[in-house]
Amino acid sequence: MKEKIHPAYKEVKVVCACGDSFTTSSTREKLHIDICSKCHPFYTGKQKIMDAEGRVEKFKKKYAKQ
Protein backbone atom coordinates (compact mmCIF):
# COMPACT_ATOMS: atom_id res chain seq x y z
CA MET A 1 0.00 0.00 0.00
CA LYS A 2 1.13 3.51 -0.67
CA GLU A 3 1.90 5.67 2.30
CA LYS A 4 0.06 8.90 3.22
CA ILE A 5 -2.92 8.37 0.87
CA HIS A 6 -5.19 6.39 3.19
CA PRO A 7 -7.46 8.09 5.76
CA ALA A 8 -6.94 7.58 9.47
CA TYR A 9 -8.95 4.56 10.60
CA LYS A 10 -9.76 4.85 14.29
CA GLU A 11 -12.11 3.47 16.92
CA VAL A 12 -15.31 5.54 17.28
CA LYS A 13 -18.45 5.44 19.39
CA VAL A 14 -21.72 4.82 17.53
CA VAL A 15 -24.87 6.25 19.14
CA CYS A 16 -28.34 5.11 18.09
CA ALA A 17 -31.54 7.16 18.33
CA CYS A 18 -32.87 4.61 20.88
CA GLY A 19 -29.98 5.48 23.22
CA ASP A 20 -27.86 2.38 22.70
CA SER A 21 -24.18 2.84 21.91
CA PHE A 22 -21.29 0.66 20.83
CA THR A 23 -17.81 1.08 19.41
CA THR A 24 -16.54 0.27 15.93
CA SER A 25 -13.81 1.39 13.56
CA SER A 26 -14.39 4.21 11.09
CA THR A 27 -12.78 7.13 9.32
CA ARG A 28 -15.33 9.53 10.83
CA GLU A 29 -15.07 11.20 14.22
CA LYS A 30 -18.62 10.39 15.45
CA LEU A 31 -21.45 8.23 14.15
CA HIS A 32 -25.14 8.81 14.95
CA ILE A 33 -27.58 6.28 13.51
CA ASP A 34 -31.39 6.10 13.42
CA ILE A 35 -31.85 2.39 14.01
CA CYS A 36 -29.67 -0.41 15.39
CA SER A 37 -29.99 -4.15 16.02
CA LYS A 38 -31.53 -3.55 19.45
CA CYS A 39 -34.42 -1.45 18.14
CA HIS A 40 -34.86 -2.77 14.57
CA PRO A 41 -38.23 -4.56 14.19
CA PHE A 42 -36.71 -7.54 12.38
CA TYR A 43 -34.27 -8.33 15.19
CA THR A 44 -36.61 -7.55 18.09
CA GLY A 45 -39.43 -9.75 16.76
CA LYS A 46 -41.95 -6.90 16.74
CA GLN A 47 -42.24 -6.84 12.97
CA LYS A 48 -45.75 -6.34 11.58
CA ILE A 49 -47.08 -7.57 8.28
CA MET A 50 -48.75 -4.63 6.59
CA ASP A 51 -51.87 -5.88 4.83
CA ALA A 52 -53.46 -2.88 3.16
CA GLU A 53 -55.36 -4.67 0.40
CA GLY A 54 -56.11 -8.07 1.94
CA ARG A 55 -53.25 -9.83 0.14
CA VAL A 56 -52.23 -11.94 3.12
CA GLU A 57 -55.79 -13.14 3.72
CA LYS A 58 -56.20 -13.87 0.01
CA PHE A 59 -52.99 -15.93 0.05
CA LYS A 60 -54.04 -17.87 3.15
CA LYS A 61 -57.49 -18.59 1.69
CA LYS A 62 -56.03 -19.74 -1.63
CA TYR A 63 -53.53 -22.17 -0.12
CA ALA A 64 -55.60 -23.34 2.89
CA LYS A 65 -57.50 -25.78 0.68
CA GLN A 66 -54.36 -27.70 -0.26
pLDDT over 70 at 47, yes or no: no
pLDDT for residue 23 is more than 80 = yes
> What is the phi/psi pair of residue 15, to 5°?
-120, 125
Q: For a pLDDT cut of 90, what percent of the chain falls above it?
A: 24
Sign of CA dihedral 42, 35, 51, 48: positive
Q: Output the pLDDT for position 46.
A: 73
Mean pLDDT of the chain: 82
What was the pLDDT predicted at 49? 61
Where are the chain's structural domains? 10-64
The pLDDT assigned to 66 comes to 65
CATH for the stretch 10-64: 4.10.80.400
> Residues 34, 39, 44, 48: is their CA dihedral positive or negative?
negative
Note whether 58 and 40 are within 8 A (CB).
no
In this predicted structure, the answer to whether residue 48 has a pLDDT above a threshold of 90 is no
